[in-house]
Structure 1
Amino acid sequence: MRRQLRPLTVLCATLGLLYAAGPPASSADRAPAAASPPAGAWTAGPAAGGGSRPGASDSGGRPYFYLQGAPGTVFEDKLSVTNPARAARTVQLRAESGERAAGAWIVLARSEVKVPPRTRADVPFTVTVPAGATPGDHPGAVVASSADGREQRTAVRLKVSGPTLAALSVEEVRIDDGVIRYALVNRGNTTLSPHVAVRAQGLFGELLRREAHPVGALAPGRRTEHAEPWPDTPALDRAEARLTVTAQGGVREEGAATATFVTWGPALGGGTLALATGAGAVLWTVRRRRNARGNAQEERA
C-alpha cells in the first residue's frame, strides 16, 4: 500500500527548500588589468643571439628564455637592459623562483646595472641544473626593477630532460551568484594546457552546456583560479554543475558542485506560483525516488 503525500507535508518541504538556499552570494571583485609600460621607459629582455628559443619577430627578439637539457647542464645567456631616455638609469636585478625552484639555479653576473642614456647593457647569467633535478618543467624569471617602482619580469622556461608526468586536479568547485568557480592544480612535472567543458543539470533537465575551451597554460606545481559565467540560472531549481578538464598526456579529471536557486522576491512576497512550482519539484523528486526503489525491488524479485 502506497502512502499518499499530504498537502501540508509538500508545503513544509518546499518552505524548507526555500530557506535552506539562503540569500544570494555577492559577486567577486575582478582583477585589475595590467598597465602597459610608459612611452620611452627602459626595458629588459633576452639579448639577441642567445642560446634560448628565438621569438617570431624579424629582429630576432625573444619573449622569454627557453632552456632544455639534462641534469648537470650549465646554461649561459644574457639579459639586455635598454635605456632610451636622455639620462642614465640604474636598474636592480634578481632571480625569481617558480614553484619548482628554477630561480635558485640562476646566478646573475651583477645585481645592479647602470645604463647610459640611449644605449643598452647586457648582463650575463648562468643556470646550473643540479645533478639530481627532477625531469620536467622548472619555471623561473629574471626580474629588473628601478627606484621609481617600475618592475619588469622576463620568464625563464627551463625543461629538464627525462620522464615526464602529466597530472592535475580540479578543486573547490562552487556556484556563486551566476558564476561557476573552481581551481586547477598541476600535480605533475610538465606544463599543461587544460581545456574545460561545463555542464549543468537541474531537476527537469539540462540547464547549461559549454563545449571544451582552453583556460591558459599551467606550470608544474601551480594553482590557478577560474570562473565560468552562468547568466541564465533558474528561478527555482536544484542543480549540479559538472566540469570536465582534459589536457595533453591523457589527462581527464572532473569536479562538481550543487546549488539551490530561488528567486526571493516572488517566493517570499506572496508568490503562490513559486511555492506551487517548488512543491511540484519536491513531489516529483519524491515520486521519482520511490519509483526507482520500486523498480529495483521488482528486479531483485
Structure 2
Amino acid sequence: MRRAAAVLAALTVVALLPAAPAAAAPASVTWTVQPATAAGPDGRRWIERTLDPGQRVTEHLAVRNLGDATAVFTLKAADGYLTDKGRFNMLPSDRASVDGGTWIAVPPTVTVRAGQTAVVPFTIDVPAEVTPGDHPAGIAASIAGAQGTVQVESRVGFRLLLRASGTLRPELTAGDVQATYERSWNPLRPGRLRVSYTATNTGNVRVDARARVDGVTTELGELLPGGSRAAETRVDGVWGLGLVRTIVELQPTIPGESAARPSATVTVTSWVVPWPQLLALLAAALLLAAWRLRRRRLASMLARAREEGRRSAVA
C-alpha cells in the first residue's frame, strides 16, 4: 500500500511538472520527490515560505527510488510559471532562470539505492535587493536518456512558493478587449454578446482571477505575477439596438483571503445595426402601405359603383 501511494504521489507531481515521456528513463526506474525535514518526508505537497530580503534558510527534499536498481538523479531548481492550461511548471534545463530559481542551491546529483529514500538539504538565499511579492520556483530530480536519436529528460518535482516580505500589490489589467455581437434573426428575440479579453497579473503577488462581464462571472484561475490568460465570456439576452456598451471587470483575490481586492474595469462600446428589427419594421410598413392602397382602391371602386347606380336611377 505504501508503494502504491508513493507511485500515486509521483504521478501527481508529474502532473504539476510536465516533462518528457517516462520512456526516456530506464524502464525499471520510478521515483518520487517531495518536501521533507532532515528526518524524512513531512507530508507537504510543496514548500511555501515568506522570507525577508537577505535571509537564508535551509530546507530538505526527499528522493525515493521505487525501482529495482540503484539510480543517479540530477537535481535542479528553476523559475516557475503556469502553462496555458493553468498548471504549474518549471523552466526546462536549456533556459536560464532569472528569479526565484536562482535563489536555490541544491546538490547537482544524488544516488539512491533501490527501494530507499535519500534526504537532501538545500538552501534558499533571498537577494538583499529583492522586490516584495511572489517569486515562484520549482525543484526536480531527473534522469536523462535516449529516445531514438533524441536525448530527452524525464523529471519529477514540486513547487516552491517563495514570497519576499513587503507590501503586496494584487492587480489585474484587461487587454485586447473585443466584443462581437451574434444576432438572432428573430426580431422578437435578443442576441448574444461574445466578449474576448486577456487578463494580466500586473501586481507582485499570485492571485485567483475572476472576471465579470455584464453580470456574467467567469473564474479565470490562478495567475502568477506577470502571467496572462486569454478568456472569453458569452452574455445572452442582449438586444442589439444600436449602441452596445460592455463593461469588463477583473477582480483579484490573494489565495487564502476571502475578500476580493479592488477591481479593474474596461469599457468597450460597439455599434450594432438592428437588421432583424429594421427588416421587421420595413415589412410592417410595406404591409400597412399595401393595406392602405387596397383600402383606397376599394373605396374608389365603391364610389364608382355608387355613381353608376345614381346615373342608372336618373336614366
Q: TM-score range by the shorter chain?
A: 0.5 to 0.7
Q: After superposition, what is the alpha-carbon deviation per residue over 1:174-205, rounded to whole angstroms, capped at 9, x for unaligned?
A: 35798543222222222222221122xxxxxx
Instruction: Tell me if structure 2 keeps the 8 A contact 1:115–1:121.
Output: yes
2:35 pairs, out of 39, 46, 50, with 46
Distance 1:234 1:116, change over 3 A: farther
Question: What is residue 298 of structure 2 aligned with on the other side?
Answer: none
Output aligned runs, 1:94-109, within 5 Å: 94-98=76-80, 101-109=99-107
Distance 2:75 2:42 in 1: 23
Residues 102-161 of structure 1 deviation map (CA, whole Å, 9 limit, x = unaligned): 11111112x222322111122221110111111221111113322254222411111111
1:135 alignment partner, one of 132, 135, 156: 132
The structure-2 alpha-carbon separation of the partners of 1:242 and 1:86, relative to structure 1 and needing over 3 Å to count, comes to: same
What secondary structure does 1:215 align onto?
strand
Which residue type is aligned with residue 263 of structure 2?
R
Aligned to 2:162: 158
Residue equivalent to 2:261: 250
Distance 1:48 1:190 in 2: 27
Match of 2:221 in 1: 216
Is contact 1:42-1:83 (8 Å) kept? yes
Per the alignment, residue 7 of structure 2 pairs with none
CA shift for structure 1 position 81? 1.5
In structure 1, the gaps of 5 or more residues are: 1-32, 51-58, 200-208, 268-272, 281-301
Whichever of the two has the greater Rg, that structure is: 2
SS in 1 for 2:222: coil
Structure-1-length-normalised TM-score: 0.60
Are the structure 2 counterparts of residues 127 and 260 from structure 1 closer, same or farther at C-alpha, using a change threshold of 3 Å?
same
Give me the whole-angstrom Cα distance separating, in 2, the residues matched to 1:89 and 1:158.
30
Q: Which amino acid in 2 is paired with 1:81?
A: V
- 1:81 pairs, out of 35, 56, 63, with 63
Unaligned runs of 5+ in 2: 1-14, 23-27, 82-97, 146-152, 183-192, 254-259, 284-315
Q: Which amino acid aligns with 2:249?
A: T
Question: Are the structure 2 counterparts of residues 89 and 237 from structure 1 closer, same or farther at C-alpha, using a change threshold of 3 Å?
Answer: farther
Identity, in percent, stands at 26
Residues of 2 paired with 1:237 and 1:185: CA distance?
31
Identify the range of structure 1 (151-160 vs 233-242) with the bigger mean alpha-carbon deviation: 233-242
Report the equivalent of 1:285.
none
User: Is the 1:233–1:261 Cα contact (8 Å) retained in structure 2?
Assistant: no
Structure 1 pair 279/245, CA: closer, same or farther in 2 (3 Å)?
farther
2:45 is matched by which residue type in structure 1? P
Amino acid at match of 2:105: V
Provide runs of 4+ in structure 1 moved above 4 Å.
33-40, 175-179, 229-241, 256-262, 277-280
* TM-score of the pair, normalised by structure 2: 0.57
Aligned to 1:67: 49
Separation (CA, whole Å) in 2 of partners of 1:210 and 1:84: 48
Coordinate RMSD, CA, aligned: 3.9
Give me the whole-angstrom Cα distance separating, in 2, the residues matched to 1:146 and 1:232.
55
Structure 1: distance between partners of 2:282 and 2:135: 56
1:92 Cα shift? Answer: 1.9
Post-superposition offset of 1:96: 0.9
C-alpha distance in 2 between matches for 1:84 and 1:73: 35
CA gap 1:240/1:131 in 2 versus in 1, 3 angstroms: same
Amino acid at match of 1:144: A
For residues 238-257 of structure 1, what are the alpha-carbon distances to aligned partners after superposition, in whole Å with 9 as ceiling and x for unaligned? 75543211124732112355
CA distance in 1: counterparts of 2:38 and 2:235, whole angstroms: 48
- Partner Cα separation in structure 2 for residue 119 and residue 278 of structure 1: 81
The question of whether the paired residues in 1 share the 8 Å contact of 2:134 and 2:162 is answered with yes
Q: Quick check: which one's strand share is greater?
A: 2
Cα deviation, residue 73, structure 1: 0.6
Is the contact between residue 168 and residue 251 of structure 1 (CA under 8 Å) also seen in structure 2?
no
